[in-house]
Structure 1
Amino acid sequence: MIKYFALGLAVLSATAAGAQQARPLYQNSQAPTEARVQDLLGRMTTAEKVGQLSTLLGWEMYEKAGKRVTTSAAYRKAVDERHIGALWATLRADPWTKKTLLTGLNPTQAAEATNALQKYAVEHTRLHIPLLLAEECPHGHMAIGTTVFPTSIGQSSTWDPALIRRMAAAIATEARVQGAHIGYGPVLDLAREPRWSRVEETYGEDPVLNSRMGVAMVQGFQGASLKSSANIVSTLKHFTAYGVPEGGHNGGSISTGQRELFQSYLPPFRASVKAGAQSIMTAYNSIDGVPCSANPYLLTEVLRQQWGFQGFTVSDLGSISGLVNNHHVAATAPEAAALALNAGLDDDLSGYGYDKELLAAVEQKLVTAEALDRAVGRVLRVKFEMGLFENPYVDPARVAKQVHTPANIQLARQVARESVVLLKNEKDLLPLAKTLQRIAVIGPNADNIYNQLGDYTAPQPESNVVTVLEGIRAKLPAAQVTYVKGCAIRDTASADIAAAVAAAKQAQVAVVVLGGSSARDFKTEYQSTGAATVTAGGQQVSDMEAGEGYDRASLDLLGKQQQLLQAVVATGTPVVVVLIEGRPLNLNWMAAHVPALLDAWYPGQEGGHAVADVLFGDYNPAGRLPISVPKSVGQLPVYYNAKRPTTHDYVEVDAKPLYSFGHGLSYSKFEYTDLLISPVETAGAVRIAVRFKVKNTSARLGDEVPQLYLSDDVSSVVTPVKQLKKFQRLTLRAGEQQEVAFELGAEDLMLLNSRMKWAVEPGSFTVQVGASSEDVRLRGQFTVGHAIEDIAW
């Protein structure tokens, strides 16, 4: 009996061992990631590999019948026949997708939908490969029921990377619990062309500020581990130099030298890659004749060989086929697919740039098996590192407790408050007294929820968004608050300026809320990329004058807004202008005639509360401009860190912006003293310690943002007149003084010399410390005695 029992154990043991051996290595969670990737690649057909590089439009892939959500026939066909590896914007809702609050998915349904999609992919494919689900996440997950934060231009106006990291972590959690794995963002394009439609999506004109914000977003999105149920992959956009198109035309070509490319446009991407970003999106534009989606120098030599990037690259929507249709650098679609993949572009956002065209390229021997495996391996690697093979599903029961939480709503209010920039406050008109009894709230952006949310925003229940009018009424419930819209943003067919004048005459103060709009509507026509189709003088007049595709020829207030403002000012009632906008606009007249100006950009769902907090002194503003405000489009470009020589004035106007980069006022006053600069040089290294003191000399607690700018006094190549290097947002009590300590290193001092090598050159440098790029309070110099050459970058 014992002998037979032992024999039975041996047979069972052998069977178990055989089963263990039969299990594919790629399904072993304990195996090294690279071994799993190679094992899976070895089992895949060419068609399956090509399918993994297709990211299709996701909102077409589910069906909703009442409360029940299932996969669509289109999705099942895409999986069965095309072996797709990813979806994009599955949970997106907006006029382009035609998903509304009724036809789209609430957060719990979203989790159920992504589970259904994953279940089909895992159970109905030969190798059981899960999906990657990418979503738009620039200022909140672009899905129904999520928290809407200020757009990126407002985020950078906080000059508070720690706060933005917290915001990014909240966005990541809201997306991941619904089944998303990738968040498109941050947008790291330098916005040096304010006519361009997508300024609101950027962090402004400066590479250092953009870098700090980009790193904060990457760290917030990705956290400590991508296997966490609260983190997502960060996709950097748009690689590269996309924000300075000629004429402001979205996606247009740009002109820049290689030195400027490396010194200005690439640093935010490099910093974010070094912070661990796992994905990067190519830009639509070309640089020096080479489209970014087929540029091996950028995608392979710079990104991977120089920077050590280990993640995967993805095209912008339709940019691979754009190599044929837009750039005309490929004659056929297979040639375009080959150009992109061979250059180092791994993933196709569209599903029609690679797919059958890439299969044809392989058959025509335009793409090698090795090149295909390289791209597929990069996508699979992320799936393994996120733990999707072991756990592709989410728990719908958790979603309601983690999306649009009270904590996230409060965080949205804090980001909005910190983003508000006080441009002007003549005779301390602000803060307004809470004893006011009669207030007129006037203007097209005073009570329009979508106008204050920006582009890439899902439909919102009205109860989710607090407008400026609602914020003021909530702040002063006993006051008589009279609202008159006055006019639209763009439409000149009708206006009620007379009613606005009457309301202002009866009020103690008039708050006039003007600006722009990126609010999409169902009347607008859209291109296949999602950008709006805009024609001059079109019959349909929406409010939208910014947002993707809405490039401007001027920066003037549109519609009858200027007439409205002038009529209200003419009443003699004190006026405060609140700007809600996506780009710098022409503020010349109001800067000369209105005593108080606030710029709130697109402040998100809590914008009304945030603006009211600032207007009535419950929050002391400290936002700083991340982009210069020009006096005229004729000055453009007018960014602060232009290269020498310094600009000279025009016949009609001087060369300075109306409001400079870094500008922003406070209800407090601050004094800068005791600048101390201490350079220390060692072999191959330099450290410059910069110390100074900042004192709140007022009777009110407030934030200040000390900024350190550096000038290389004499250099072998032309350098900027000044360049931001360090900044810090401080909170100081009334009368409090704090010492600020910054340290500059070789990377802060180096330039790209005539041999295209990074080096620190001997000589003198000037340090400027102050409250903006123009408001310099302290100056000092230091000297570097020894060169540091061939610095790795």
Structure 2
Amino acid sequence: MTKYLIIICSVLLISFRLQGQPVYKNAKAPVEERISNLLSLMTLNEKIGQLCCPLGWEMYLKTDKGVVPAEKFKNLMNNRPIGSFWATLRADPWTQKTLITGLSPKQSAEAINSLQKYAMEKTRLGIPILFAEECAHGHMAIGTTVFPTSIGQASTWNVDLIEEMGRVIAQECWSMGGNIGYGPILDVAREPRWSRMEETFGEDPVLTGILGSAFVQGLQVKDNAGKYKFYSTLKHFAGYGIPLGGHNGNPAQIGMHQLFSEMLPPFKMAVKAGAKTVMTSYNSIDGVPSTSNRYLLKDILRKQWGFNGFVFSDLGSIEGVRGHRIVANVKEAAAASLKAGTDVDLGGNAYGKNLENALQEKLISLADIDSAVSHVLRLKYEAGLFENPYVKPTDAAKLVRCENNKTVALKVARESIVLLKNDNILPLEKSIKSIAVIGPNADNIYNQLGDYTAPQERDNIKTVLDGIKESVSAKTKINYAKGCAIRDTTQSDIPAAVKAANQSDAIVLVLGGSSARDFSTEFKETGAATVSAQKEKLLSDMESGEGYDRSSLDLLGDQEKLLQAMLKTGKQLVVIYIQGRPLNMNTAAEKANALLTAWYPGQEGGKAIAEVLFGDYNPAGRLPVSIPRSVGQLPVYYSLGKQNEYVEGTSSPLYSFGYGLSYTTFEYSGMKCKKTGKDSFIISCEIKNKGNREGDEVVQLYLKDDVSSIITPEIMLKKFKRIHLDKGETRKIEFELTKEDLSLYNQQMEFVAEPGTFTVMLGAASNDIRLKDKIELK
């Protein structure tokens, strides 16, 4: 009897506990009920905390007993439980986290677990934290895999590969405890003087939107239970890639048609692909800062596109609304941004210090706060964080920068290399007797990695010199000389480079730029580097990367002198540009025997470049951005069409969008246009590899609306495919054009497909159209 009584009491006790459990903790309750219940239990202070995303790298301490929460973190959480942290695992000169002071992948997972445990167990309601990290070309933390920057990713024109890369980046970041990856960057970039072009997919909205959507689908993986493991953040909404004068954050001087037709489509495509978070931009459009632009954030993003995630500000961009002088103080900026639809304050001070007073003064309503908080909580529930907030540190140790991930980085690097010129010098013979490897970017690990990169162990990075050493025969003599730096001229030794060149049968000259920050770099509060008066003896190499806008595109320092010196030797000369933006290539294009750009190719870049130089890989990268001849041509992008010539010379770019050479040749034939429905068509052709080796071709479909109610570009990319063909192989390629592809925004800003004829163009580049035909929409 006693036994049964104990069982009955136990069942009743369990039942009582279950009934007493708040709905927001019940994993079986509908998400919306859980959100509503939690909101009803939260104080105003706790709600505001969910809308704050402070900087995270000061939130942990490394001790003899492991990684533990710092007092600063405990004070923050005790005062106001914070909803999310940014860059907790970030390591770079700004955060002052080095290979010694930073965290290994395993320690990173332990750090996040310790912070999450404090939030779950030491705060009143136990709400888990979202940890957001920089992930545009790899997780910006120590020990992770470094991929080519976005402009290089775009040069692959390979949708499946970019999705695969996204999965690798997500896997590495979530195994270390991250929940959100900042990326992809979907700014359509048409201003190469701008410091952040390297972070973009280039000048075209379709290429940007398709590759960006693939990146999103790679990042936003789910577990077997259908819960999100990781979220993507789209940056920067909107119009950020065309700043006035090339100055970072300057206004976008743009009309509504161009905004809707060219700047917004990549974001719309990525939202359709499932992106769950969006970041606003620093700039303004037509006098309205993006961070407080209700039309952008609510009318377009949420109402028209159906976005159901949450919106981050960029770091300090809410305070920037005050900087635009459309409000009197940061309190009014916070109120305007919240009401406009910016849910989370990256930085945390604008909302943390002002929303309570703004509510008391009726600048905002409690409904405004509750709406934003619900957007944040929904993602926490969809990720299953209330039930499973922790990660396994052993997974991070095993998964991060594993052999598979390095292989993917090598694939992206290979496919990103664009061969611009080749006078039959490439590929080089591996048995070459001697080769000179010259230039400031020939053996500098950080110069080939780009901005938003963590400190690296030397043996993790393959430079061009490393790659060449591994590729040539044991008998080949390699003569290396740096020659000069990127910017500094006090340490140049061009005579040593000339001597090395004269002792060699061929020269590989590696020039360009750098986004590498060092520990003497000064930073703004937003993390952008500042271009200040030089205080040290040597200028850093940094001439690109956030905050380093240019007034010209010329090679800096003594690089042009070095190039001229190499030309004067009379040796066969291969010039490689490692760069974050299109730099002046005129001399190399005219006089070098071969020219290629590798952008910032990541940790495997040197190996990939060497594979191209010596024929182990047939290059097939295509330019995602036009290469101008001078800044006087700007803006110069392919969809402007043919422009009037200048008095001083041509208006055409040096190299056009979509351009790139191969070691084989491809023939286009048999174009057919078949109507398959009321508003859809199948466009097909045959591609034949006519050369003596296998290779990839990027088939590009462009469109011209022959007569339209508003002005439309002469040529617009609509579809593309990267295909592999064996030598002699022929393949039929098909593209589908839908009503959406044929639509435009008319004078009433309605997205419609107007009746009429369209010219369909198939080719290998925007200036290399091989086939044309007409279709008609009735």
Distance 1:95 1:11 in 2: 61
Contact 2:334 2:351 in 1 (8 A): yes
Structure 2 residue aligned with 1:545: 543
Distance 1:212 1:362 in 2: 41
Structure 2 residue aligned with 1:783: 776
Q: Give the C-alpha shift of residue 31 in structure 1.
A: 1.0
Matches for 1:660-675 after TM superposition, within 5 Å: 660-675=656-671
Q: Give the C-alpha shift of residue 356 in structure 1.
A: 2.1
Distance 2:162 2:145 in 1: 14
Q: Does 1:395 align with 2:392?
A: yes
Say which SS state the counterpart of residue 669 (structure 2) adopts.
strand
Distance 2:16 2:52 in 1: 36
Say which SS state the counterpart of residue 638 (structure 2) adopts.
coil
AA of the residue aligned to 2:724? T
Instruction: Work out the number of aligned pairs and report it.
Output: 776
Structure 2 residue aligned with 1:750: 743
Structure 2 residue aligned with 1:237: 235
Distance 2:87 2:342 in 1: 20
Q: Say which of 706, 724, 727 aligns to 1:731.
A: 724
Contact 1:709 1:769 in 2 (8 A): yes
Contact 1:226 1:233 in 2 (8 A): no
Q: Say which of 219, 243, 246 aligns to 2:244.
A: 246
Q: Give the C-alpha shift of residue 110 in structure 1.
A: 0.4
Structure 1 residue aligned with 2:712: 719
Return 5+ residue gaps in structure 2 as ranges.
none
Q: Give the C-alpha shift of residue 212 in structure 1.
A: 0.9
Q: Give the C-alpha shift of residue 353 in structure 1.
A: 1.4
Structure 1 residue aligned with 2:334: 337
Matches for 1:432-447 after TM superposition, within 5 Å: 432-447=428-443
Q: Say which of 371, 379, 382 aligns to 1:374.
A: 371
Structure 1 residue aligned with 2:115: 117
Change (3 A) 1:29 1:8: same
Distance 2:221 2:653 in 1: 39
Distance 1:67 1:104 in 2: 16
Q: Give the C-alpha shift of residue 16 in structure 1.
A: 2.4
Q: Say which of 197, 200, 211 aligns to 1:199.
A: 197
AA of the residue aligned to 2:747? S
Structure 1 residue aligned with 2:654: 658
Q: Say which of 135, 139, 142 aligns to 1:141.
A: 139
Contact 1:94 1:457 in 2 (8 A): yes
Higher deviation after alignment, 268-277 or 357-366: 357-366
Distance 1:312 1:52 in 2: 12
Contact 1:227 1:387 in 2 (8 A): no
CA-to-aligned-CA distance 1:167-219 (integer Å, 9 cap, x gap): 11001000001000000000000110000000000000000000111111110
Structure 2 residue aligned with 1:688: 681
Change (3 A) 1:582 1:227: farther
AA of the residue aligned to 2:480? Y
Say which SS state the counterpart of residue 300 (structure 1) adopts.
helix
Change (3 A) 1:198 1:538: farther
Structure 2 residue aligned with 1:268: 266
Q: Say which of 209, 212, 218 aligns to 1:211.
A: 209
Higher deviation after alignment, 491-500 or 458-467: 491-500
Distance 1:57 1:107 in 2: 19
Matches for 1:64-463 after TM superposition, within 5 Å: 64-66=62-64, 68-225=66-223, 231-324=229-322, 326-426=323-423, 428-463=424-459
Contact 1:279 1:314 in 2 (8 A): yes
Distance 2:245 2:681 in 1: 41
Distance 2:611 2:236 in 1: 35
Say which SS state the counterpart of residue 671 (structure 1) adopts.
strand
Say which SS state the counterpart of residue 596 (structure 2) adopts.
strand
Structure 2 residue aligned with 1:18: 16
CA-to-aligned-CA distance 1:633-669 (integer Å, 9 cap, x gap): 0111101012x7x411111121110000000000010
Say which SS state the counterpart of residue 706 (structure 1) adopts.
strand
Contact 2:227 2:382 in 1 (8 A): no
AA of the residue aligned to 1:398? D
AA of the residue aligned to 1:346? D
Structure 2 residue aligned with 1:790: none
Compute the TM-score of the two structures, normalised by the length of structure 2.
Answer: 0.98
Say which SS state the counterpart of residue 525 (structure 1) adopts.
coil
Say which SS state the counterpart of residue 639 (structure 2) adopts.
coil
Contact 1:192 1:637 in 2 (8 A): yes
Q: Give the C-alpha shift of residue 351 in structure 1.
A: 1.2
Distance 2:587 2:646 in 1: 19
Q: Give the C-alpha shift of residue 14 in structure 1.
A: 3.0
Q: Give the C-alpha shift of residue 759 in structure 1.
A: 1.1
Q: Give the C-alpha shift of residue 473 in structure 1.
A: 0.2
Q: Say which of 478, 482, 489 aligns to 2:479.
A: 482
Say which SS state the counterpart of residue 767 (structure 1) adopts.
strand
Structure 1 residue aligned with 2:519: 522
Contact 2:513 2:541 in 1 (8 A): yes
Q: Give the C-alpha shift of residue 8 in structure 1.
A: 5.4
Distance 2:441 2:14 in 1: 69
Say which SS state the counterpart of residue 662 (structure 1) adopts.
coil
Distance 1:509 1:374 in 2: 65
CA-to-aligned-CA distance 1:324-379 (integer Å, 9 cap, x gap): 1x211111222111100000100010011101211111121111111110000000
Compute the TM-score of the two structures, normalised by the length of structure 1.
Answer: 0.96
Q: Give the C-alpha shift of residue 65 in structure 1.
A: 2.8
Distance 1:17 1:64 in 2: 43
Q: Does 1:504 align with 2:501?
A: yes
CA-to-aligned-CA distance 1:452-498 (integer Å, 9 cap, x gap): 00000000000100100000001115111110000000001221111
Q: Give the C-alpha shift of residue 221 in structure 1.
A: 0.5
AA of the residue aligned to 1:730? I
- Aligned-pair identity in percent equals 56
Contact 1:148 1:457 in 2 (8 A): yes
Change (3 A) 1:9 1:64: closer
Contact 2:694 2:727 in 1 (8 A): yes
Distance 2:665 2:329 in 1: 63
Change (3 A) 1:41 1:104: same
Say which SS state the counterpart of residue 60 (structure 1) adopts.
coil
Change (3 A) 1:528 1:274: same
Distance 2:558 2:224 in 1: 50
Contact 2:696 2:722 in 1 (8 A): yes
Structure 1 residue aligned with 2:469: 473
Cα-Cα RMSD? 1.4
Structure 1 residue aligned with 2:755: 762
Distance 2:3 2:531 in 1: 81
Q: Does 1:676 align with 2:661?
A: no
Change (3 A) 1:765 1:231: same
Q: Give the C-alpha shift of residue 754 in structure 1.
A: 1.0
Distance 1:237 1:272 in 2: 11
Q: Does 1:701 align with 2:697?
A: no
Say which SS state the counterpart of residue 210 (structure 1) adopts.
helix
Return 5+ residue gaps in structure 1 as ranges.
786-793
Distance 2:621 2:736 in 1: 24
Distance 2:59 2:218 in 1: 29
Q: Give the C-alpha shift of residue 223 in structure 1.
A: 2.2
Contact 1:172 1:230 in 2 (8 A): no
AA of the residue aligned to 2:418? V
Distance 1:10 1:100 in 2: 59
Change (3 A) 1:307 1:230: closer
